[in-house]
Amino acid sequence: MTLLLTRGDLETVLEPATCLDVLRDGFRDADTVSIAGQRMRTDLPFPGTATALIPGLLPGVPAYTVKVNAKFPGARPALRGVICLHSGTDGELLALLDSATVTAWRTGLAAALGTHLLAGPGETVGVVGAGAQAELMVRGLGVLRPRGALVVHDTSADRAAEFAERHGGRVLSSAAEVAGVADIVLSATWSREPLLRLHETRPGQHFTSLGIDEPGKAELAADLLEAALLVVDDRELASHVGVLPRPDATLGEIVRSEHPGRTTGSDRT
């Protein structure tokens, strides 16, 4: 029998601290999986894109996943899809999971983990793009370290205000204003134009960008990326995006202490 797990089912059982532990283990052990994952993406004759990722594997787990997503920026939610969990013994479909929920938790919490490992001691957090992944970034970061003031900007004033109210923050009118006061800047947008340039930042700041996930998307300008210690979750996928310089390290290398990450208080990361 195939288990069906909806958004409500998943949010009932998922918990940030436990998920962060699992993600840390996943990044640490990712290179021990003998078969590399593949990502296939295509434009559609509609206002969206389709992406498939196969196979999802973990050491010691006799099963694999096939993930199929549709991204329609104008929709709410903008990401919809399914994750199929198959037996590694005979291919039986063991479960169907709501992909939007799993993706938001995986991406947002992985970003929170990377932020915690790379950011300096500053506590003021800025958010640019107040969607589902920003929600999980802020929740996850709160599990990992103390958080001070929070500022937020979104193209939707209502969404920004609701986010600020939920997290005890205040709304600012631009990404540059957010970077002007925040020690840590978390961005998760659909932008195809840089939201921040080097001259709008200062030494010692940390930036996490989730929006650079497809060709043509660019949240951070080239001069800022070049000036910062650049860490990605996957080198091959990052190279396909085409807007990133060569990464200095992967998140797995940081977790395994193969790369020191930030080494001075003035490093941009």
Neighbour-count burial of 43, counting CB atoms closer than 10 A to its CB (0-12 exposed, 13-18 middle, 19+ buried): exposed
Confidence of residue 154 (pLDDT cuts 50, 70, 90): very high
Domain end residue (candidates: 84, 102, 120): 102
**What mean pLDDT, rounded, does the chain reach?**
94
Do 179 and 251 sit in the same domain of this protein? yes
DSSP 181-196: H-SEEEE----SS-SB
Distances (CA, A) of 230 to 24, 59, 197, 255: 19, 27, 15, 15
How far apart, in whole angstroms, are the C-alpha atoms of residue 21 and residue 1? 29
Query: Residue range 69-93: average pLDDT?
Result: 94
The CATH number linked to 60 is 3.30.1780.10
Do 119 and 74 sit in the same domain of this protein? no
Can you say whether residue 134 is alpha, beta or left, with left for phi > 0 and alpha for psi between -120 and 50 degrees?
Answer: alpha
Does 162 have pLDDT greater than 90? yes
Residue pLDDT, tens place only, 173-232: 999 999 999 999 999 998 989 999 999 999 999 999 997 877 788 899 999 999 999 999
Do 39 and 134 sit in the same domain of this protein? no
Helices (runs of H) and strands (runs of E) counted in the chain: 9, 13
Domain end residue (candidates: 69, 102, 135): 102
Confidence of residue 19 (pLDDT cuts 50, 70, 90): very high
Q: In what order do the strands lie in the sheet with 63-71?
A: 3-5, 93-98, 79-87, 63-71, 49-56, 38-43
Residue pLDDT, tens place only, 227-252: 999 999 988 878 877 778 899 999 99
Query: Residue range 145-165: average pLDDT?
Result: 96
Residue pLDDT, tens place only, 83-116: 999 999 999 999 999 999 999 999 999 999 999 9
**Does 264 reside within a domain?**
no
Query: Residue range 160-177: average pLDDT?
Result: 97
Percentage of residues in the chain with pLDDT exceeding 70? 99
Domain end residue (candidates: 102, 127, 146): 102
What pTM was computed for the model?
0.93
The whole-number pLDDT of residue 6 equals: 97
Boundaries of domain holding 131: 109-255
Does 253 have pLDDT greater than 90? yes
Does 168 have pLDDT greater than 90? yes
Do 142 and 241 sit in the same domain of this protein? yes
DSSP 223-267: HHHHHS--EES-HHHHHHHSSS---SEEHHHHHTTSS----STT-
**Does 34 reside within a domain?**
yes
The whole-number pLDDT of residue 54 equals: 95
User: Which of the two residues, 78 and 140, has the higher pLDDT score?
Assistant: 140
